[in-house]
Amino acid sequence: MRGRFVVFAALAAMFVLGAVSADAALVLSLDDTAMGQAGVAEVIIVDGSLAGTSTPFGLSTHDDADGNVDGSILFSTGTSPMVAGSSWKITAAAGLSKPNLGELVFGVVDMVLLATSTSSGTLMLHTTDTDFNPDGVSFGGGLVANIGGTTNGTVSFDAWFDAGNAEFGGSPLAGTGSVSGPVAFAETFSIPVGQVSGPYSLTERVVVTHTGAAGTSFNAELKMVPEPATIVIWSTLGLFGIALAWRRRKAS
């Protein structure tokens, strides 16, 4: 129950936030690994775009139908299979990113799922977004990954950071992990990145495995955070600016 509350709270937050100006496209993909070719997802949605948009996983398969809210994607098949022949039914799946969530320098990508399967199988989900830190601000950073929900199967979580700023770019970083059900879970992973000095992309991958008819819900978030040294530097610069403004005001 707690996991479902987290999922629906995240979905509600997405729709409370209004439509804002467009940014580089967020992408959400869902792949029933028993259905087709490896690396080709059955469901691919690009934020703000119609079906047929090119992605590294193939052409997008569905229009983005979330009410034209930039930085969010919503997908649902209700009680029907995800695609014909699939054992997965997607009550709700969502991807969130800028400008709906997070900011340009310290980026955030978020993924939500509420799904069931009628038999054993594996569902692989990706959320990716590019063009964080477009002005090339230099800072020391790290990633914090949070995932919580419920499962009757196994849920694994991977985080990717790519200084090349590519959709689904980079490789899974060390420091993430998996949980096995039946269980309600909440995990946090801290992953060092080091110095960042240009645009970058963030990708999260969640793999759900069921050994029979089962259900899984989760909310997974990946965010860039400044290292303590960066916080000290920026805080010092902020205090310096306040002091300078005070001196100028006093002199006038």
**139 vs 23: which has the higher pLDDT:** 139
Residue 14 amino acid letter:
M
Confidence grade of residue 106 (pLDDT, cut at 50, 70, 90):
very high
Q: What is the pLDDT of residues 117-141, one digit of tens each?
A: 999 999 999 999 999 999 999 999 9
Q: Is residue 241 part of a domain?
A: no
64 is written with which tokens? 């983005």
**Residues 93-109, mean pLDDT to the nearest whole number:** 94
7 is written with which tokens? 């999922």
3-state class (DSSP) for residue 250 = helix
**67 vs 98: which has the higher pLDDT:** 98
Confidence grade of residue 20 (pLDDT, cut at 50, 70, 90):
very low
Q: Is residue 159 part of a domain?
A: yes
Q: Is residue 235 part of a domain?
A: no
**pLDDT of res. 73:** 94
Q: Is residue 222 part of a domain?
A: yes
Residue 191's nearest CA partner among 203, 177, 173 is 173
Confidence grade of residue 178 (pLDDT, cut at 50, 70, 90):
confident
Give residue 181's domain range: 2-227
54-58, 218-222, 238-242: range with highest mean pLDDT: 218-222
| 46 touches 129 (CB < 8 A) | no
What is the count of structural domains for the chain? 1
**Residues 22-33, mean pLDDT to the nearest whole number:** 82
| Half-sphere exposure at residue 212, Cβ-oriented, CA atoms within 13 angstroms | 2
**Residues 198-208, mean pLDDT to the nearest whole number:** 96
In the DSSP assignment, the letter for residue 205 is: E
Q: Is residue 242 part of a domain?
A: no
Q: Is residue 29 part of a domain?
A: yes
**pLDDT of res. 239:** 52
For the beta carbon of residue 209, count every other beta carbon within 10 angstroms: 20
Q: Is residue 211 part of a domain?
A: yes
Q: Is residue 208 part of a domain?
A: yes
